[in-house]
Structure 1
């Protein structure tokens, strides 16, 4: 199953969904430090450490350090990993509202992490993209 590549179709049909909860970015030296890997939303191995994203409550339970509390928005449209312009379009829309975004492109959907306090404003900006 391949995703959509046409930017106009992607923008017109994407459905941003604000996922419940608060999410945080933490680091560990290696994954063996994680008590329950099933509670990790995603991880990425960088040169310096492994970044893990998980629910804030889980990070607190595991006594992990974080400084950024995020909301998680999923763009519910199957975008192709080869699609051109989608990330730029939504990043620019969020930039216009002075909202920082951290993006994860997974196989089926794009996921955007924004500061918790910007969640509703970000949703409005993303919905406005459908009108363009």
Structure 2
């Protein structure tokens, strides 16, 4: 069941630190994507990709709450919580879960910070 209430979404995030490593890149033109693509977004400038790569420097934290598309404030609350610890992040909304990408060296702190929120 999806959660729409802001307080309920934030209370139910249940962050999970993914053991994989990730990288961001962009491609132009058509063609097929490599098999390790996690996210591809068609944009006028090209196609930004998020790839699963063992040697990459980003980690992903999956938010277990199934946030409703019409829910307001979850990405902002997560980004604000992490910013208080000077942790930059990239939030990627998904269905049914949102994903937070942080640098590898700050991943444990980011995960712990979200657990304690």
Q: State whether TM-score is above 0.5.
A: yes
SS of the residue corresponding to residue 114 of structure 1 reads: strand
* Contact 1:81/1:105, CA 8 A, preserved across alignment: no
- Larger helix proportion, structure 1 or 2? 1
How many residues in Structure 1 have an aligned counterpart in Structure 2? 117
Q: CA RMSD in A?
A: 1.7
Cα distance in 2 for partners of 1:79, 1:8 equals 11
Q: Which runs of 5+ in 1 are unaligned?
A: 61-67
Q: What residue number does 2:102 align with?
A: 114
TM-score, normalised by the number of residues in structure 1:
0.80
Q: Which has the larger radius of gyration?
A: 1
Deviations 1:80-99 (A, max 9, x none): 01111111111100000111
Deviations 1:44-92 (A, max 9, x none): 12222111111124xx7xxxxxxx7210010001000111111111110
Deviations 1:1-53 (A, max 9, x none): x620112212222210011111000111135153x3x4210111222211111
Q: Which runs of 5+ in 2 are unaligned?
A: none
Cα distance in 2 for partners of 1:17, 1:55 equals 17
Q: What residue number does 2:51 align with?
A: 54
TM-score, normalised by the number of residues in structure 2:
0.90
